[in-house]
Amino acid sequence: MFALVDCNNFYVSCERAFQPRLEGRPVVVLSNNDGCIVSRSAEAKALGIAMGEPLFKVKDLVQAHGVQALSSNYALYGDMSGRVMGHLASKAPELEIYSIDEAFLSLHGMERWGLDGYAREIRAEVKKRTHIPTCIGLAPTKTLAKLANRVAKKDPSLGGVLLLDSPERRTWALARVPVEDVWGIGRQYATKLHALGITTAAGLAQCSEAMARQHLGGVVGARLVRELQGFPCQALSPSEDGTLKRQSIACTRTFGKSLSAFEDIVGAVAAFASRAAEKLRRQGSVASVLTVFLSQDRFGNTPPPHTRSAQTTLPVASSSTPELVRFARALLGRLWQPGVVYKKAGVILDGFEKGGEGQLSLFAPDGGERVERLMQKLDALNQRFGKGSVQVATALGSRMPTGKSTTPWHGQQQRRTPAYTTCWEELWEVG
């Protein structure tokens, strides 16, 4: 049996854990640049505020109902996520961290404990220790566990837990979930399925394999239907030592304002590459593929495509900031055009190998050990004195290296709460 533990309105719940006055009120958390709504409290959902909606489109609603709109505070959410996952890891032999607010647990062999009661215990404990409310779905496949979780979230009478351990319960749950709410059914597939007269998860579960393959992206769709029928097709991939090992790492941003000058954009790209390299080192990988993209305003008047990208395979896989910045800069040189107004850029790393196991370079006789030591020092300094204390100069862009002016690509974050748990200057004050 799998359990899927999912935090309710995660970002809003993190904010509420430190600001009890937000309890019972409509609250939303905003994306970067305070642009879109990415997390909503139950009260905000009830007002009809949609997920992903731009803030400016619901400004009236927000004002009329005194909705608290907060900038996103990823330092806080990441830390709270770690705490929740830490508790979950102690509750099951295996844990797969699926996203910042969700994890699959393998409960194989624990059936005799009474899974329903055990799930309620986990839920209560997470709430008590972290103040984060969760819902738990339990079922023989991941897709059914997701579905059970979704039903548990929508139906308060279930007390946050739903166990699907019999054909009767499964049939009951499948019948009450619209097909578009099934894990793996997005907008395109939902439209197709409705046209075919399939409107519920129950209907989808009765689909033939041929039909699933034809309409739902081949083997992916076939697996989805089998999982709904109770035949597991997706195994748990346990997260080693409670952390996620990614297959790709991206750092991308919409700029705070439009940028044209090469020096400004190269500053942004260098900063993104530095950040990506940091994440890469933290998971102990080296990357062999680097992609840079550059976008114009996708809501503006310029016809698509709005994005151009360039990719390169590194001669030797690397996690060195200066090395990756150098290649990123070269790629940017191929993309940037004078006079064009840009709104967004990004750096993506791919093709990972485990650090120390990759192909060695003929031309770096020490195997890159010096650079590795340098990067360790860099990370240690930034850990000790705060993010960005030591950077490659390219990342400063056209700024003077002194002074506190923000970089031209930085956006607004006017409603950010303190990083209560990760920054000495911003510790929680009680009183």
Using CB under 7 A as the criterion, which residues of the chain lie in contact with DNA when the complex forms? 31-33, 35-36, 38, 52, 54, 56, 98-102, 146, 182-190, 217-220, 246-254, 272, 279, 289, 299, 309, 311-313, 344, 346, 348, 351, 411
Burial (CB count <10 Å: 0-12, 13-18, 19+), residue 182: buried
**For DNA, which is the closer residue by CB, 35 or 110?**
35
**For DNA, which is the closer residue by CB, 33 or 41?**
33
Number of residues assigned to the chain: 431
**For DNA, which is the closer residue by CB, 121 or 180?**
180
Paired sense of beta strands 37-40 and 2-7, if any = unpaired
**For DNA, which is the closer residue by CB, 25 or 279?**
279
To DNA, the closest distance from the beta carbon of 412 in angstroms equals: 9
Decide: 71 and 416 in contact? Cβ < 8 Å.
Answer: yes
Token pair of 424 as six digits: 């000495």
Say which amino acid occupies 81. S
Token pair of 103 as six digits: 């994890």
Decide: 25 and 11 in contact? Cβ < 8 Å.
Answer: no
Token pair of 56 as six digits: 């400016």
Beta-bridge mates of residue 347 = 251, 292
Buried b (16+ CB within 10 A) or exposed e, 233-247: beebebbeeeeeeee
To DNA, the closest distance from the beta carbon of 58 in angstroms equals: 11
**For DNA, which is the closer residue by CB, 138 or 348?**
348
Buried b (16+ CB within 10 A) or exposed e, 102-116: bbbbbbeebeeeebe
**For DNA, which is the closer residue by CB, 360 or 374?**
360
**For DNA, which is the closer residue by CB, 289 or 396?**
289
Residues 6+ apart with CB under 8 A from 346: 250, 251, 252, 253, 272, 292, 293
Q: Rounded to an integer, what distance in angstroms lies between the CA atom of residue 131 and that of residue 205? A: 37
Decide: 76 and 12 in contact? Cβ < 8 Å.
Answer: no
To DNA, the closest distance from the beta carbon of 275 in angstroms equals: 8
To DNA, the closest distance from the beta carbon of 87 in angstroms equals: 18
To DNA, the closest distance from the beta carbon of 226 in angstroms equals: 13
**For DNA, which is the closer residue by CB, 106 or 312?**
312
Decide: 329 and 286 in contact? Cβ < 8 Å.
Answer: no
**For DNA, which is the closer residue by CB, 119 or 201?**
201
To DNA, the closest distance from the beta carbon of 331 in angstroms equals: 11
**For DNA, which is the closer residue by CB, 235 or 427?**
235
Token pair of 244 as six digits: 């996620």
Q: Rounded to an integer, what distance in angstroms lies between the CA atom of residue 266 and that of residue 256? A: 15
- Which among 78, 79, 113, 76 has a CA at the least distance from the CA of 93? 113
153: enclosing H helix or E strand? helix 142-154
To DNA, the closest distance from the beta carbon of 97 in angstroms equals: 11
To DNA, the closest distance from the beta carbon of 109 in angstroms equals: 26
To DNA, the closest distance from the beta carbon of 239 in angstroms equals: 12
To DNA, the closest distance from the beta carbon of 369 in angstroms equals: 26
